[in-house]
Amino acid sequence: MASETKRRSILGTLGLVAALAGGGGEAQDPYAREREAMLKEIEAMARDTGEETGRAVFSAGVMAAMARVPRQRFVPMSYAALAYANRPLPIGHGQTISQPYIVALMTELLDIDAGDTVLEIGTGSGYQAAVLAELTRHVYSIEIIEPVGKRAAALLSQLGYKNISTRIGDGYNGWPEHAPFDAIIVTAAAPQVPPALVTQLKPGGRMVIPVGADGEVQFLHVMVKQLDGTISTRRSLPVRFVPLTRSD
């Protein structure tokens, strides 16, 4: 019964997406079929990896956000036909847009609420920020590669996201002016967790970050800051992200 309820929820969201796109079907939303296939594959992967991640079923809110955000707008035009394939894609400057399942998983692991503020390290294409913005009050996103960050900021503004603030800078330092954050997500792999990000995480908050030195196996870490300031960490799936770079 639970899986059937979940299926109806996703299909209902897809109907809403098609309506917002200008009508009731594939003629108005040429990506409807690919988007639905993406959502089903995310669900299947969640079930397959549930023992490792602790999340065999993703929340209806996360799945609805994945359905609403137009991923084709966040990839280069030459890759538009693959926009909803469950795989990472290059976006230039040696960067990638993450696999949809990983975007959904990291969002799910944050356990964010509608009134939260979230810090994202690594704006990239802007896709992860857009998914987060569908679920929470405000997203602060930092990108170190200037042309990548400027392109993402322009696109997010064009798409009407008013609850995303972006800046160009070194993500290792976080964004202290807006700290503490209810949640922090890092979309590039660090050899160790930057201390500034731990400091800027609110007690009771969660951080999701891939950890692993360049050339080593990376693992997704879920960190929870306890009310007394101590950190508990759970290691999740092995992943592959571009490295988190520093400014000179």
Euclidean distance between CA atoms 110 and 58, whole angstroms: 12
State pTM to two decimals. 0.89
Task: Give me the catalytic one of 78, 98, 165, 232.
Answer: 98
Total structural domains in the chain? 1
Provide the residue range defining the domain that includes 27. 2-239
Residue 20 has pLDDT above 70, yes or no: no
Which of 14-28, 34-48, 73-87 has the lowest average pLDDT?
14-28
Q: Among residues 179, 170, 231, which one has the least CA distance to residue 201?
A: 179
Domain assignment present for residue 29? The answer is yes
Domain assignment present for residue 248? The answer is no
Each residue of 143-174: pLDDT tens digit? 999 999 999 999 999 999 999 999 999 999 99
5 pLDDT band, cuts 50/70/90, is very low
CATH label of the domain that carries residue 194: 3.40.50.150
Residue 140 has pLDDT above 50, yes or no: yes
Euclidean distance between CA atoms 52 and 59, whole angstroms: 17
Domain assignment present for residue 246? The answer is no
pLDDT for the residue numbered 248? 64
Residue 136 has pLDDT above 90, yes or no: yes
Residue 27 has pLDDT above 60, yes or no: no
Domain assignment present for residue 244? The answer is no
Domain assignment present for residue 112? The answer is yes
Domain assignment present for residue 228? The answer is yes
Domain assignment present for residue 247? The answer is no
Q: What is the dihedral of CA 203, 55, 40, 134, to 10 degrees?
A: -10
Domain assignment present for residue 245? The answer is no
Q: Which amino acid is at 183?
A: A
What's the mean pLDDT when you consider all of the chain? Answer: 90
User: Is residue 98 annotated as a catalytic residue, yes or no?
Assistant: yes
Q: Once rounded to an integer, what is the mean pLDDT over residues 213-225?
A: 90
Q: Among residues 110, 121, 160, 147, which one has the least CA distance to residue 246?
A: 121
Q: Is the dihedral of CA 147, 64, 211, 113 positive or negative?
A: positive
How far are the Cα atoms of 79, 119, 152, 163, 182 from residue 73, in angstroms, in the given order? 10, 22, 10, 18, 28
Euclidean distance between CA atoms 151 and 196, whole angstroms: 26
First-residue to last-residue Cα distance in the chain: 55
Each residue of 51-93: pLDDT tens digit? 999 999 999 999 999 999 999 999 999 999 999 999 999 999 9
pLDDT for the residue numbered 152? 98
